[in-house]
Amino acid sequence: MNNSAADSDAQSYTKNDVVPYWPASLAIEFSLRPEKTVPSKIKHFGPLRVQRPFYPETDGCCHLYLLHPPGGVAGGDVLNISVRVNEKSKSLITTPGATKIYRSNSSSEIHQSIFLTNEAVLEWMPQETILFNKAQTKIKTEINMVSDSHLFFWDVLCLGLPANNVKFSEGNCWQSLKVSRDNQFVLIENNEFEGGSELMSARWGMREYYINAIALMTASDFSLVEKIRSKVADQENSQEGYLFAVTLKQGLVICRYMGNSVDEAKGLFKAAWSVWRDFELGKSVVFPRIWGT
């Protein structure tokens, strides 16, 4: 397992160092044991932790919760998270609460690296990321798979505070998402959200919506798209005021949401997840316990 990010941070700082920001890293490796998947290696530095694993499913799928005790990301903070899922291992990762990016005069960074080996399963379903007004951040996610890996991934980004009607009128968020299969890129996306820019209001951009969200899932054929479309809308719903679409690209089903409700976005993604689980894994959904608290 490549833990270079975690190792680098651990070697660069000690508990006696004084730094102008709060670096943190977490590296997790999942391995299959006779009866269940276990987090066989965990290496952390700074305020990133995991709770003990949970096993609410009969097939030994490991549910793991990522913790960031500070409760938010401030200017200058750098978070590095790497996950490796070994052969035939099954894992689900979520968080107990939203990731909050606070207003700052300097930029924070979040780096996420995911690697899936043969017949590995990863369901990456953290709570939303909330970008406070005047926040500055860079979020980089890289996912590497092989041809028979199984992935469900979502990312829900709130540009401002929709519940309080606080817009993202100042600040900057740069997002990078790269997905590769067998060392060949199947999806590359780069977004830059500049608070107060034309992008935030234009019809070709965010259309005054607060939330931009994406869900990705591996697919064996196009019929998965049709099954998802039959369960959720694939067009603008003027009554509810959101946009939702489902497409297929190079073996990845891509769901996109733009709207003003986190619960709505995650509800649509959960519906897609239930279809994907049944279609690709042959089992029903089991919600992480923490979602009910």
**Any bridge partners for residue 43, and if so which?**
27
How far, in Å, are 145, 156, 162, 207 from residue 99 at the CA level?
A: 26, 10, 15, 24
Nearest to 5 by CA among 104, 91, 106, 111: 111
Mean pLDDT confidence for 241-267: 93
Element (H, E) at 252: strand 252-259
Q: Tell me, what's the pLDDT at 128?
A: 96
Q: Beginning with the edge strand found earlier in the chain, give each strand of the sheet holding 136-145 in spatial order.
A: 37-45, 24-32, 78-85, 108-116, 136-145, 172-181, 184-194
Is residue 178 over pLDDT 50?
yes
DSSP state of 277: I
Per-residue pLDDT of 261-284, as tens digits, reads: 999 999 999 999 999 999 999 999
Is residue 37 over pLDDT 70?
yes
State the distance between the two ends of the chain, measured CA to CA, in whole angstroms: 34
Average pLDDT, the chain: 90
Inter-residue contact 59 to 34 (CB < 8 Å): no
Coil, strand or helix at 157: strand
Inter-residue contact 128 to 139 (CB < 8 Å): no
Own/partner contacts of 284-290, CB < 8 Å, gap of 24 or more, are 286/56, 286/57, 286/61, 288/54, 288/56, 288/63, 288/65, 288/92, 288/94, 288/125, 289/54, 289/56, 289/63, 290/65, 290/94, 290/96
Own/partner contacts of 278-283, CB < 8 Å, gap of 24 or more, are 279/220, 279/223, 279/224, 279/227, 280/150, 280/217, 280/218, 280/219, 280/220, 280/224, 281/121, 281/150, 283/57, 283/59
Q: Tell me, what's the pLDDT at 274?
A: 95
Least confident of 51-65, 100-114, 240-254: 240-254
How far, in Å, are 97, 156, 160, 262 from residue 100 at the CA level?
A: 9, 12, 10, 14
Distance CA 288, CA 272 (A): 16
Residues 6+ apart with CB under 8 A from 209: 242, 243, 258, 259, 260
Q: How confident is the model at residue 240 (pLDDT cuts 50, 70, 90)?
A: low
Least confident of 31-40, 137-146, 157-166: 157-166
Is residue 233 over pLDDT 70?
no
pTM greater than the 0.85 cutoff = yes
Per-residue pLDDT of 55-66, as tens digits, reads: 999 999 999 999
